[in-house]
Structure 1
């Protein structure tokens, strides 16, 4: 008899974005020809930049020539890409060796896979509201989850709580879904807490490129002592439009040791056992992101999404609605008006003005009463959605 992983029975009945897709599908079927203004899922709308496209074409041509053909790539990443990423960190004053950088097929994959490094008896602390995969991946593993609530009173950026015991600490900054960003002293408190307790921080930096305020840390390794307590997981999906191309990277310092085991060495062993690496073509495209021209081009695209955020923020300001995020993140987290629940507000926007967002309740219990907008849509759709939102809520 095959025994399944019974922890799957502990998962919520369906995934947040699946629910949204089903509701929008039903609406479109009932209202054929209706245009929806989609600001829910965080998928990009601008194409890959020219520097990346050129590198991808060159890599394809390499694969057509025997002298330049590449088969299996190193499981931990091509040296040229690991070196480029280490150089990117160096520009921000973070010293990494290339073999502390691991190339992945994306942050979402890595956030689940990285749990292989930790015993299932270890407890995971999740700051809520949170990206649902943090919770679900640990539920699947049968791991105890400690929930740390956040709210308006702390700007959705809570401090460590000595009363909570956990071995893994999930921190996402800029945050998904709230768009809030930890200040240096706030993040330092978490680093100090992890080093004091022996916990390991899993730092999700997927949106670091959206930070524009001086003094806000882009990487946890900008903080003193982080190299002995943190793993950083990054993505090129939102930074450079790789949502359909799939590429990310993970930083595990050689100084990170727990129970006499070196986590960098453990991850080398894991990757060389469980993967065959990321394709040469995709890694060549990724390396182009870290060139001067690539950086210039991806930040031009990011500015388009920033203008979308500014448009929505201006609307919410005029309406007098509380929100956070937007300035240093591609997400805006607003309070639902008139005491509506987040799913009630979702249905209200969908049926009244054909705008699709994401109900806060889907990110944890303390997300109830809040709503997330993604700013990755087209400029035209964002402006029209903001106009409709303003007209509807002025009522």
Structure 2
């Protein structure tokens, strides 16, 4: 009899966003005319920029012409897109070659698939609060997980010490859910630890385009020594609105080796075995992101989201609520008032002011007592949600619908 992967039985129920959906559904059933101000799930609200839409249309036309038609694409990515991404790194002072860039259908896919490169006996270190997929992907693989706690006291940016032990290290900067960003000095400590201990860092840089502080690194490869210990995973989902279009990329340096095995060469073999590449149409749209016009247009959209963040930060500042994130990330991570639990705070603001966010407990035990707001909503809803939060938390009576 076939034996399934029994490690799936060790997964905790993925209740976070399902539970949020159920609670909001129940509220709307009782209040069918209510308008909810949704700042929970990190999905974008602005459409694809004009440069991308134009490129997508041109690519569709190519597929309608026998002379320009494209069938299977190279499994590791079309040369035109890999080269465009390598040039993008070069403009930001990081030397990456096109054959170190791998095109994917999104960062979430890669974060799980990359585990194929590592022995099941390798321990994975996850900083909590954490994006839940980091944990679940390793549970499915039967891997031991080391949970490294973070807190308000260390700015939700813990560093390795003499007690730290890990083979695979997940770092996310800017962080989801906390919005905290590692400095160069802090990343250098993690790079030094990884090289000294033979570990590999999986660096999730999905939100690098939101960094506005010029002293903060956008890529781990800005840190000396990172090319012998790190893999970087990036996404166009939040950067360019590709959440419904699906495109990302991963950078694996040719100098990254462990136990005589070259991880870049291993990943080439993995991709050429397990995928048939990403659609030509989507890759053409992705390439448009890296043109001068594409960069200008996507940053215009990012500024709208960042202005949403400023509105929320000003609101929280006005009533003395502690938070991190926002300035260099699309998430704001706030301390729940009056020692409220994160689900308690969720229920309170849903019922009192119709605002929806994400309870911190859903990102791990270290998230209890905190709450995440996404800044990807419309400016109008964000302004009204901020007004309602100030009115509620300052003990004034909000104007509800």
**TM-score normalised by structure 1 residue count:** 0.99
Alpha-carbon shift at residue 14 of structure 1 (Å): 2.5
CA drift at 1:9: 1.5
2:352 corresponding residue in structure 1 = 352
The question of 1:59 aligning with 2:59 is answered yes
Q: Which residue of the partner structure matches residue 154 of structure 1?
A: 154
* Partner SS, residue 306 of structure 1: helix
Unaligned runs of 5+ in 2: 396-401
Segment of structure 1 superposing worse, 153-162 or 194-203: 153-162
Structure 1 range deviating more: 214-223 or 20-29: 20-29
Question: Which of 82-91 and 350-359 deviates more?
Answer: 350-359
Match of 2:11 in 1: 11
Q: Cα deviation per residue 1:346-381 (whole Å; 9 max; x = unaligned)?
A: 111111111110000011111100000000000000
Q: What is the aligned partner in structure 1 of residue 261 from structure 2?
A: 261
> The residue matched to 1:371 in structure 2 has which SS?
strand
CA distance in 1, matches of 2:109, 2:162: 31
Map of 2:387 onto structure 1 = 387
1:31, distance to aligned residue in structure 2 (A): 1.7
Aligned to 1:132: 132
Task: Give how far 1:217 is off.
Answer: 0.2
Q: Which consecutive unaligned segments of at least 5 residues does structure 1 have?
A: none
Task: Please give the per-residue CA displacement for 1:44-95, whole angstroms capped at 9, x wherever unaligned.
Answer: 0000000000000000000000000000000000000000000000011111
Aligned partner of residue 126 in structure 2, secondary structure: strand
Separation (CA, whole Å) in 2 of partners of 1:248 and 1:14: 24
Corresponding residue for 1:203? 203
Q: Write out per-residue CA displacement over residues 166-209 of structure 1, whole angstroms, 9 at most, x where no aligned residue.
A: 10000000000000000110111100110000000000000000
- 1:198-237 equivalences under 5 Å are 198-237=198-237
2:91 is aligned to: 91
1:24-35 residue pairs with structure 2 within 5 A?
24-35=24-35
| Distance in 2 between residues matched to 1:344 and 1:3, nearest whole Å | 41
Regions of 4+ moved over 3 Å: none
Once the two structures are TM-superposed, the CA of residue 16 in structure 1 deviates from its matched residue by: 1.7
- Mapped to 2, the partners of 1:303 and 1:92 lie a distance apart of 19
In 2, Cα distance between equivalents of 1:14 and 1:279 = 30
Matches for 1:308-387 after TM superposition, within 5 Å: 308-387=308-387
Structure 1 counterpart SS, 2:171: strand
Q: Quick one: distance in 1 between partners of 2:218 and 2:94?
A: 10
More off after superposition, 132-141 vs 155-164 = 155-164
1:33 CA displacement? 2.5
Root-mean-square deviation (Å) = 0.7
CA offset at residue 11 of structure 1? 1.2
Name the residue aligned to 2:172. Answer: 172
The SS at the match of 2:295 is helix
Match of 1:240 in 2: 240
Task: Give, in whole Å, the separation in 2 of the partners of 1:194 and 1:65.
Answer: 50
Q: Distance in 1 between matches of 2:267 and 2:17?
A: 30
Give runs of aligned pairs for residues 226-305 of structure 1, distance below 5 A: 226-305=226-305
Which aligned pairs between 1:111-122 and structure 2 lie closer than 5 A?
A: 111-122=111-122
Whole-Å Cα distance in 2 between the matches of residues 82 and 161 of structure 1?
Answer: 37
**Aligned-partner Cα distance in 2 for 1:159–1:374:** 26
Q: CA deviation at 1:164?
A: 2.1
Work out the CA distance in 2 between the residues paired with 1:13 and 1:243. 24
